[in-house]
Structure 1
Amino acid sequence: MSGLRQGTVPVDGFVEEVLRHDSPVQLSNRVALADGVSIAGLPVPAGTHVLLLLGAANRDPARYPDPDRFDPTRGDSRPLSFGGGAHYCLGALLARLEATVAFGRLPARFPGLAPAPGTAPTRRDRIVLRGHASLPVVLDGRKTAGI
């Protein structure tokens, strides 16, 4: 948050890197509708179910140098967090807009926003729609119940 607060990290770059680094949707699936399809040289016959690991694609070292490093200044990120092509999420633009507005305003609204000392975030126990069940923070020195 300090980079957002100081203006050294672009808000849109921060949002894209959050989506790339820890995408809320980690996997999806598709069914091959026709014969003659191949993936990485392997044939995928019609009717075959294919599991797409979006989270792994967002950490592909051939696409992202040092992929495990969180870098909101990373250029040309374009993560696959919302899918792609005909299966691109219809809500992707709205989600990005909401995140950009929220992270753009949080530092000014809550200048003391910080992780709550002595507590740790709790992740939801989900594979597909990941996220936090609890994210304890302090606002201006006062501990909140969690966001």
Structure 2
Amino acid sequence: MKAWQYTGLAIALIFLGVQFVPNDLPEVSQDNPGDLLGSGIVDGEVADLLQTACYNCHSNATKYPWYSQVAPVSWLVAKDVKMAREEVNFSTWAEYELMDQLAILDDIYSNVEEKHMPLPIYITMHAEADLDDVQRQKIVDWAEAAMDIIAEEY
């Protein structure tokens, strides 16, 4: 065999070997009683936008695509979902203090308005999450109105 054939075989064996390394994907749960969508501050249209563009990373209701089971991509997906849930987890909305909810809504407002969210790399793999300007404005307007509602409670 030639050197390139040995190299190809080695790469294939390494690729197969890493498939046995656990991917440690965060758990998925559809039963989330403290979820933002049940809080009463989100209407149907904005709820749909949040579920399409945000919930896959920022909730316990993640829908993992097939490639999230293939290393080394699975490791990146696991890391990204863990980090996103640490930043904000809509499934545990009711557990946040009111001031934290206000801060999260302010972050949503600015990150969506400035097109920092959803992340471009996510949009590359999930075209349905690519918000147009009208959709972005709906989320921004909702975040601002929700801040007013929560501030009244505070």
Shorter-chain TM-score tier: under 0.3
Q: TM-score, normalised by structure 2?
A: 0.26
Greater strand share, structure number: 1
Greater helix share, structure number: 2
Q: TM-score, normalised by structure 1?
A: 0.26
Larger Rg: 2
